[in-house]
Amino acid sequence: MKTTLTAMALALSATAVLAEDTVIIEFAYPYSHLFDVTYEAMMPAFQEAHPNIEVKFRATYESYEDGTNTILREAVSGNLPDVTMQGLNRQQILVEKGIAKSLEPFIAKEADFAKDGYHDAMLSLSTFDSNVHGLPFSVSLPVGYYNMDILKDAGIEELPTTWNEVIGMCETMKANGVDNPIFWGWNITGNWFMQALMWSQDKAIVDNGRVTLDSPEALAALEQMQEIFTKCDMQNLEWKAALSSFSVGEIGMMFWSTSALGSVERSQGDFELVTSPFPGMGDTPKGLPAGGNAAMLTSTADDPRVQDAAWAWLKFITSGEGAAEVAKTTGYMPPNKAANEVILADFYEQNPNKQTAVDQLPLLRDWLAYPGDNGLAITQVIYDGIERIVTGDATDMKELQQEMAEEAADLLPNG
């Protein structure tokens, strides 16, 4: 009995020490419908590698804009998470305001950091003034999703490479009785598709602190959207409803981020799904904006153990085994060569729909943020302008361009 009690005492003592040594960090991320399954898949390996770190998950952000607004509010109230996921185009404001910490001190302690194989082009998306402030977690590009059953019923065999071909397919499907031939993701976060049409023409939407909405390329982008929306009779669907409608087989083709592929496949109806590269405005796109998000350290903890634990979590989810789960559970591409070339060596061959975005990597361009504290307000100006095209409220694209350009200019730091 004495031996048993002694053993129990030792066990209880060890448990108490273990509990005392446990470090709790808080983590917040966007889009639960995309990423919940990803983090669930990651946790067992992380917990095995770091049994003394407990990750507390905060309520998810509704969107990247919501994530940035939330962090800005929490910085004022002193309630920041230790690690946050932010849209690639929303990092700069958090760096400028000193909310996101430089990761350089942590990287300097990692003897094998370079061996982890982060893609330079992707790592540069989170580098400001030569300092890494975030590690890209997931990177996406726009692609086309096609319901091949609907297309083949309409006699369509070839997938489009230009928007004129897309419009022609819409007209063919409508003649074949298809009520909703297309959803084109104008309402995706951060004016991403507007920037996709701009980069397709090799034009940045921000240049030397100016928003280039007054450019010929911006007018061409607005006119292209108007043609797609009107000639395809596109319904004004909220984006979640559109993804759901496509998934069950009600829409012929959808243009959206590759990020949603895993979610679409999990809820897919009985039809053949094929993805294909994003069409161009007459020619192959010259560039496309990199979507996705990055892990940023926003911890205000004085305890170095918390800081180290936050770094351990941040590093795990963006490199190697952790990053591989991004590709397996979503349509995003891991920003890490170790994940893409070693762990996922056969994955893309077996999952050709997820290969589409990887094939477009040479087109990768920055997803640009609008300068100054009113960056989110400029995003809303562009969103509202495009919505007016969708609803038919705006029909003169030159007039709309002038209105949008003037509103955006008024919100810039230099006026």
Q: Check residue 326 and give its pLDDT.
A: 86
Q: Which helix (H) or strand (E) holds 55?
A: strand 53-57
Q: Hey, what amino acid is at 262?
A: G
303: helix, strand or coil: coil
Nearest CA-CA partner of 87 in 168, 30, 3: 30
Question: Can you give the length of the chain in residues?
Answer: 415
CATH superfamily of 142-289+370-411: Periplasmic binding protein-like II (3.40.190.10)
pLDDT tens figures, 149-167:
999 999 999 999 999 999 9
Q: Is 302 helix (H, G, I), strand (E, B) or coil?
A: coil
* CA separation for the pair 114, 11 (Å, rounded): 41
Helix (H/G/I), strand (E/B), else coil: 209: coil
Q: At which residue do the structure tokens 């490479």 appear?
A: 161
**Residue from 162, 180, 323, 160 nearest 251 by CA:** 180
Q: Which two tokens stand for residue 158?
A: 């070839």
**pTM score, two decimals?**
0.84
CATH architecture group of domain 24-140+291-365? 3-Layer(aba) Sandwich (3.40)
In angstroms, the CA 191 to CA 252 distance is 23
Domain boundaries in the chain? 24-140+291-365, 142-289+370-411
User: CB 45: neighbour CB atoms within 10 A?
Assistant: 14
Q: Which two tokens stand for residue 241?
A: 């409803």
What's phi and psi for 185, nearest 5 deg? -75, 55
The string of pLDDT tens digits covering residues 183-200 is 999 999 999 999 999 999
Is 333 in contact with 156 (CB distance < 8 Å)? Answer: no
Nearest to 281 by CA among 213, 224, 235, 358: 224
**CA–CA distance, 27 with 313 (Å, rounded to integer):** 9
What is the mean pLDDT, run by run of 10 residues, along the chain of 415 residues?
A: 39 43 95 92 94 96 94 97 94 94 92 67 80 90 97 96 98 95 96 98 95 98 98 95 96 96 93 97 94 94 96 90 84 76 81 90 89 93 98 97 97 84
DSSP 63: S
Nearest to 83 by CA among 112, 113, 57: 57
Q: Dihedral of CA 329/196/281/403: which sign?
A: positive
Compute the C-alpha angle 329/182/290, nearest 5°. 45
Please tell me the predicted confidence (pLDDT) of residue 115.
52
Alpha carbons 401 and 29: distance in angstroms, whole number: 34
Question: What pLDDT, on the 0 to 100 scale, is given for residue 341?
Answer: 72
